[in-house]
Structure 1
Amino acid sequence: MSQQLINLSPDLHRLFEDGYEISIEHGHLIVRHIPYVTSRREIALGTLVSTLAMSGDRTNPPDTHVMMFGGEFPCDSNGAALEKIRHSSTRQIIGGDLIVDHSFSSKPLAGYKDYYEKVVTYASLLSNHAAVIDATVTARTKRVVEAADESSFVYIDNASGRAGISAASQKLRQASVAIVGLGGTGSYVLDQLAKTPIEAIHIYDGDIFQQHNAFRAPGAASIAELRSRPLKVDYLAAIYGNMHKGIVKHPCYIDAGNVDELASYSMAFLCVDANEDKPVIIDLLEKANVPFIDVGIGLELVDGKLVGSVRTTTSTPAMRHHIKARSRIPLHHIDGNDLYARNIQVADLNALNACLAVIRWKKLCGYYADAEQEHFSLFTIDSNHLLNEDFAA
């Protein structure tokens, strides 16, 4: 991925051809082996790091003139700090073992037209002072450091880099997550998870994607797609495979015959209605110490208006007892006047249920702060009230 992006963008390819050690890592442009002078008048090697503005697999003009740097604060040939370009000095983890210590600000009147101009400007600002001490030093080593392509995405997540949260985003890089059921809520869970760096997202559903599903799922199915009657896993994997490389299809339902497959996952989202297989699924996940989040929507028609609730139930190895002790998950189908079970079109509630579940998962991962550590929440539609209960000790 790194080399492909370099080859497709003229400014990055020009840096490569000029001999700069460039790579794309954690949604940033990395330029290693930049000679600079320390306060002791010694020559050291640092790393320039820039956010990337992209359109697909090609660069746009830089969205900021600021450049980050890993190393000591650079000095001139006499050992005096280059205060004129100092922007800030704050240690920041970009991702993995990539760390920056400072950022610089040197802005031309018209800004930088491309990344070639930006990198060469900052590399020269630092290495020219080093060349006064040793004329043989250069940032143009003709050596390319190609980072291992560990991205889960078809194209890079440059938004996290621009926001400065690449390291935080890596907390979401779990090995594998399962979504059991791709109905209204399950399809929206997939929509959200496909935008995270999970290595593999396993989707389970044996149903055909039908016309009523189109009104509950994200996006807009064409009439030709509906006429072809694709399986849900095929239809949704084709869409989200455009963005995420790790969508794994399982065109089947989970039951006693294959429930053991869930034991290997890092996390499971249960997006299926109460049925005879649900107790089997929950028992397996608990025995295998797999955390899971179960979702549900209940609706009724009262005086011509819909009332009901949106439920999110979390179960982790540290807290399981509330599931059965407080009946937090319906385990058996009950015949009744539940409008939701009759495919009423409430995509907004499906999206809300999915977002609440994914937010809860992100809290478990440490991405979002988690003040209450609730393992059960209920959003009541008519009162717009969110109730949190079952708090972890």
Structure 2
Amino acid sequence: MLSTLLDYNKDLELLIKKGYALSIDSNYLVVRDIPYIDDKGQLQIGAIVSVLVFVNQRQIKMQDHQIFFCGSHPHELGGTPIRNLGGGGTKLNLISDDLVVQRSFSNKPRGGFKNWFDKIESYVEIISGPAIAKFEANPFTFRVVDESSNSVFKYRDTLTSRAEIGDLNNKFELDTIAVIGLGGTGSYLLDFLVKTPVKEIKGFDLKRFHVHNAFRSPGKLEEEELGKLKSEVYKKRYENFRSEVNIYSKYIDSDSIKDLEGVTFAFVCVDKGDSRSEIFELLIKMEIPFIDVGMGLDREMGSISGTLRVSSFSKESARSLMQKKLAPLTDIPDDVYKNNIQISELNALNACLAIIKYKQLRGFYADDNSYYHMLFNIDELNCLGENGKN
């Protein structure tokens, strides 16, 4: 990544040529080997960390004049803390084990910084000046830092670094997720998961993509997509965004053990009760935790009312919860939903509730109620849930 950026960002190239040990970590520019004096007058080596803002895949800019620092507060030759370094103690989770952010600094010259070269040079002069004078320390090590990345994304995830939630996003990186059924709710779930750093996404749907699908799925409609298999449509839609999105033109049934090998979590998004029952049995047999979604809609008084459902089945409780019949395991006669009412916002909301529950299970979101079964009432816009305390 850094070598590519150097071709299109001359200010970074100037830093490399001067000898700074540059690397990229979690969408931050890192400058290692920064000498400074600690509160005991001893020489220490820290690192400067600063947020990268990607204009595109090749060009970057500074977010602001501030930096993070791996190290304690630098001191002057006389033993006093260096002044004019605003900020304070903070933490930041980075991939590299040798980078432990302890502080943030803010020192903005009049007129600001013109580019990355000016910014790093200014902070190094302030932080390292005393250490260079006392110990003849050298921040220009010309060190090459291995910055190999195993990210599934083909674009830098700058949202995560801006929000400083990299440690939380790391909770998903070992998951292989199955989305069984890519109808309205399933297609929105797929879209949300594509932007989540899970190791792999497996989607399953045998049907073809028609106009009515476009009205209850994310993204724009390309005329050439109509009539194609959903597996082709969604595979192409996301192939430029990330790797390991594998969509298969098949149904999941009791004989689909090989298709789900390696899956650590599943979303069941089917509208046939009989199919749901068979899928549940397979997932329970394979000890794969899963979330099932659904909606029950009625049109009795001219307008549509009803509920959205999210039911979570852990490996330990799946069998007992299935016996509770929280999700329909047989087909419902005269189900309004089978008339293909186009309600994209309900599909999206059902997917939102499901992905939030999954992320609660992984510790990304707080979960005060620990609901394993939740109903969202459209009429009153409220949620009811069941947990082990009910």
Same fold? TM cut 0.5:
yes
CA RMSD of aligned residues (A): 2.0
Give the match for residue 102 of structure 1.
Answer: 103
Letter in 2 for 1:253: Y
Q: Deviations over 1:109-152 (max 9, x none)?
A: 222232222222212222222110122x3222112213121212
Give the match for residue 20 of structure 1.
Answer: 20
Identity %: 35
Q: Is the 8 A contact 2:202 2:246 kept in 1?
A: yes
Give the match for residue 205 of structure 1.
Answer: 205
Give the match for residue 257 of structure 1.
Answer: 255
Name the SS for the 1:40 alignment partner. Answer: coil
Q: Deviations over 1:234-257 (max 9, x none)?
A: 211222222222212222111222
Name the SS for the 2:372 alignment partner. Answer: strand
Give the match for residue 378 of structure 1.
Answer: 375
Q: Deviations over 1:321-371 (max 9, x none)?
A: 5522321111222331x2222221100000000000000011011011010
Q: Deviations over 1:79-126 (max 9, x none)?
A: 321132041113333346342001111112222232222222212222
Letter in 1 for 2:348: A
Q: 1:180 to 1:17 in 2, by over 3 A?
A: farther
The answer to whether the aligner puts 1:361 opposite 2:358 as a matched pair is: yes
Supply the distance in 1 between the matched residues of 2:389 and 2:313 (Cα, whole angstroms): 10
Q: 1:120 to 1:231 in 2, by over 3 A?
A: farther
Supply the distance in 2 between the matched residues of 1:102 and 1:210 (Cα, whole angstroms): 54
Q: Is the 8 A contact 2:37 2:74 kept in 1?
A: yes
Please list every run of 5 or more consecutive structure 2 residues that lacks an aligned counterpart in the other structure: none
Give the match for residue 150 of structure 1.
Answer: 150
Supply the distance in 2 between the matched residues of 1:361 and 1:378 (Cα, whole angstroms): 16
Q: Could you tell me how far 1:36 is from its partner in structure 2?
A: 1.2
Give the match for residue 293 of structure 2.
Answer: 295
Q: How does 1:202-351 map to 2 (within 5 A)?
A: 202-226=202-226, 229-336=227-334, 338-351=335-348
Q: Is the 8 A contact 2:90 2:103 kept in 1?
A: yes
TM-score after normalising by structure 1: 0.93
Q: Is the 8 A contact 2:27 2:158 kept in 1?
A: yes
Letter in 2 for 1:278: R
Q: Could you tell me how far 1:289 is from its partner in structure 2?
A: 2.5
Give the match for residue 129 of structure 1.
Answer: 130
Supply the distance in 1 between the matched residues of 2:300 and 2:372 (Cα, whole angstroms): 29
Name the SS for the 1:168 alignment partner. Answer: helix
Supply the distance in 1 between the matched residues of 2:293 and 2:161 (Cα, whole angstroms): 32
Structure 1 range deviating more: 194-203 or 90-99: 90-99
Letter in 1 for 2:22: I
Q: 1:60 to 1:263 in 2, by over 3 A?
A: closer
Supply the distance in 2 between the matched residues of 1:335 and 1:270 (Cα, whole angstroms): 21
Supply the distance in 2 between the matched residues of 1:390 and 1:260 (Cα, whole angstroms): 33
Name the SS for the 1:94 alignment partner. Answer: coil
Q: 1:272 to 1:173 in 2, by over 3 A?
A: same
Supply the distance in 2 between the matched residues of 1:91 and 1:99 (Cα, whole angstroms): 8
Supply the distance in 1 between the matched residues of 2:117 and 2:300 (Cα, whole angstroms): 64
Name the SS for the 1:314 alignment partner. Answer: strand
Supply the distance in 2 between the matched residues of 1:177 and 1:2 (Cα, whole angstroms): 31
Supply the distance in 2 between the matched residues of 1:187 and 1:34 (Cα, whole angstroms): 48
Supply the distance in 2 between the matched residues of 1:74 and 1:236 (Cα, whole angstroms): 52
Q: Could you tell me how far 1:2 is from its partner in structure 2?
A: 4.2
Supply the distance in 1 between the matched residues of 2:339 and 2:142 (Cα, whole angstroms): 65
TM-score after normalising by structure 2: 0.93
Q: Could you tell me how far 1:309 is from its partner in structure 2?
A: 1.1
Letter in 1 for 2:119: K
Letter in 2 for 1:120: E
Q: Could you tell me how far 1:392 is from its partner in structure 2?
A: 6.9
Q: Could you tell me how far 1:13 is from its partner in structure 2?
A: 2.9
Name the SS for the 1:83 alignment partner. Answer: coil
Q: How does 1:56-135 map to 2 (within 5 A)?
A: 56-95=56-95, 97=97, 98-135=99-136
Letter in 2 for 1:183: G
Q: Deviations over 1:146-168 (max 9, x none)?
A: 31212121111112212222212
Supply the distance in 1 between the matched residues of 2:181 and 2:96 (Cα, whole angstroms): 33
Letter in 2 for 1:352: L
Q: Is the 8 A contact 2:50 2:67 kept in 1?
A: yes
Q: Could you tell me how far 1:34 is from its partner in structure 2?
A: 1.0
Q: Could you tell me how far 1:293 is from its partner in structure 2?
A: 0.6
Structure 1 range deviating more: 277-286 or 146-155: 277-286
Q: Is the 8 A contact 2:284 2:319 kept in 1?
A: no
Supply the distance in 2 between the matched residues of 1:268 and 1:374 (Cα, whole angstroms): 18
Q: 1:263 to 1:332 in 2, by over 3 A?
A: farther
